[in-house]
Amino acid sequence: MNGKLNSTIGLPAALSTVVGMVIGSGVFFKPQAIYTATNGAPGLGIIAWILGGIITITAGLTAAEVSAAIPKTGGMMTYLSEIYGEKIGFLTGWMQTVLYFPGTIAALAVIFSQQVSELMGYGPQNMVVVLPVSLGIIIFIALLNTVGSSFGGFIQTVSTICKLLPLILIIIFGFIKGNGNPILTPLVGGETTVIGSLGQVLIATLFAYDGWINVGAIAGEMKSPEKNLPLAIVGGLSIVMAVYILINLAYLWVAPASELATSVAPAALVAQKIFGNTGGKLISIGILISVFGALNGYLLTAPRVPYVLSKEGLLPGSKIFSKLNKGGSPYNSIWLIAGLGCIYALSGQFNLLSDLTIFIIWVFYIFTFYGVVKLRKEKPDMVRPYKVPLYPIVPIVAILGGLFVIINQLITMTLVSLGGIIVTLIGLLVYSYKIKLR
């Protein structure tokens, strides 16, 4: 054993990895937020899926240079620690631990429970059903991941099939059976403006595209990463973007944007119109399994961040959260993430939670993009298995796209955004305190 990862991943496997990591719950549920923001008009929503895809592709191409140049475990937390120092690296891990991961888990649990409530005939906003199911599903999956990880692999395989099948069926039969509705006009409805709505719809689409940051993690195991990694990113994310645009065109072909804006589960609504009550329920069950798989994926991977921080003695209660059980599972870190997820889930607000997590994670994504520029200047001789193409245009597009979303979110959702920033900055106090104890 030479301690190095074997270069065994070819382009087809890399493409499927990219597609599998990115397609999740957002494509099934975010059309409601998008068409609510456009005031029931279709045009800007479709444009947002295209813009979100372009921003995501530039983001993936840019971040991949950092991850390929710093082939260490730990993800973005490790990259930013190497580029900006331990304090920024800790702040990244702190943000992921207290906001991003539990917030995303909570958002997925809420939308899962709303779909369950809808299937049971109680309606998606029945908190008597939604709250206990939200908390129950988080606790159940945390328990499974605490006991062992073999179940996790099985769930990921099943959920991958279950998230692709509804998409394929709705795309095919949506265009066959749909009556046709306006798709590109009008851009926005009523007194809504394009500029005023663009940030909100982009935040929604970027949630659906999230997961691309993990793409660079496979660079060390790829054959010819300098050639195949950009092809996998551009190809994989282009496939995702094409699927997202096609499915949203199919949604609109079956149901008008004004109707999609009123449905918590637009995909289930469209499926019911296409396949009837029984077929619609079967599609809805497939979507539920997909969301279950996404929840499992986050609760499987997220605890690694507080575990690593605790191993370095940087989190309060590090002795507790750095423990492993007999199965090698960081069980206390799992329950930390799950516990925070349960607290966030009490809000019962899918769109609010997902908007918060995307806002705060994109702040750190921009640090990652600028890290490429910083490393090019400060370490020109650094070994780079892969370099972002069309430098510096691609990183600049990624940075500007991220800045637009963040600034717009600060203006339109000021209190929520500032709350996320304040909770993140509390990490500086925690870091200073823990450093003094070293």
d(C-alpha 250, C-alpha 339), whole Å: 38
The tally of CA atoms less than 13 A away on the side-chain side of residue 361 is 26
Going from N- to C-terminal start, the domains of the chain cover: 11-436
Spans of the chain below 70 pLDDT: 1-8, 73, 148-157, 215-221, 438
Residue with tokens 């595209």: 209
d(C-alpha 225, C-alpha 352), whole Å: 38
Q: What pLDDT score does 385 carry?
A: 82
CATH of 11-436, one of 3.40.980.10, 3.30.230.80, 1.20.1740.10, 3.40.50.300: 1.20.1740.10
Nearest by Cα to 101 from 357, 325, 291, 319: 357
Nearest by Cα to 37 from 184, 185, 180, 187: 187
Contact 115, 135 (CB under 8 A): no
Contact 100, 88 (CB under 8 A): no
pLDDT tens sequence across 389-415: 899 999 999 999 999 989 988 988 899
Q: What pLDDT score does 2 carry?
A: 41
Nearest by Cα to 308 from 34, 119, 144, 96: 96
Residue with tokens 């090019």: 376
Q: What pLDDT score does 249 carry?
A: 94
Q: What pLDDT score does 154 carry?
A: 67
Q: What is the pTM of this model?
A: 0.89
Contact 401, 55 (CB under 8 A): yes
Q: What pLDDT score does 148 carry?
A: 63
Q: What pLDDT score does 4 carry?
A: 46
Contact 59, 398 (CB under 8 A): yes
pLDDT tens sequence across 11-36: 787 777 778 778 878 888 999 999 99
